[in-house]
Amino acid sequence: MHASKRLGVAGAALAAFSVGAPTTAAAQDIADHTYTPEAIQEGSRVYVTECALCHASTGDGVDGVDLRRGLFSNARSDDDLRRIITSGVGGSRMPAIDLRAAELDGVVAYIRAGFDPSGVAVRVGDPARGQEIFDGAGRCTRCHRVNGIGGRRFAPDLSAIGVARAPAALQRTILDPTSALQPINRPVRIVTRDGEAIRGRRLNEDTHTVQIVDSQERLRSLVKADLAEYEVRETASMPTPDLTPDQVADLIGYLLTLRGLP
């Protein structure tokens, strides 16, 4: 059996690993330049002192709201966020908070950066246009399925991706799929001792077995001792869609609306 790669010495591992959320040139292009890294860092400080008591450091301290993942009760645009922060929400526990303009921009930037002080603020566009791109120019439905419609289950189902991923992670996935590929989701290539060749996506693994969904959309659990070859690939199967920065922003806006069953 050809065991999959192991990370070697520290130095070799470093090259492949992300330390401190690097921003690719593409991500810089797409980012909303209203916000600077300084603004995001300023926002992280303001958040801790003004927001975290109720919303928690994780952003999900208030029922129905997950700030880190962009799930809001009343807001969609950045201006909505500014208005709610400065005016509060009548009839709720959200008070009006008196912030300087730079502090206010910072908090919005921090939220849009997915609570990553070293990240980039992500521009979130129009969900309706984003859905058109998802179904059309982005060719996303060729592989991905949403609420039972679209591609094959070999690719991750996106029905609740707006809950599972923060805006920054969605942007990273669209611009450079491999850089955002979660290790557990890595594609696998397997040849059994019986000679069967299998391609699939990893769902789970332990010392002696691996669980996958194969290219025929079958859930399969395989015993490693029965495999002649087992390769875990670090390159995403997903191609980088050919989209303009505006289209990417719209697509992110749409993906954030995907929250599964209520």
Tell the smallest beta-carbon distance from residue 229 to another protein (Å). 17
Question: Using CB under 8 A as the criterion, what x/- string covers residues 138-167 for binding another protein?
Answer: ----------------------------x-
Measured from the CB atom, is 94 or 111 closer to another protein? 111
Taking CB under 8 A as the criterion, the residue among 32, 50, 60, 116 binding another protein is 116
Tell the smallest beta-carbon distance from residue 238 to another protein (Å). 13
49 binds another protein (CB under 8 A): no
**R_g over Cα of the chain:** 21
Count the site residues for another protein by CB under 8 A. 32
Tell the smallest beta-carbon distance from residue 234 to another protein (Å). 8
> Which residue stretch of 2-10, 70-78, 131-139, 140-148 sits at the interface with another protein (rule: CB under 8 A)?
2-10
122 binds another protein (CB under 8 A): no
- Looking from the CA of 19 toward its CB, the CA atoms found within 13 Å total 6
**Strand, helix or coil at 229?**
strand
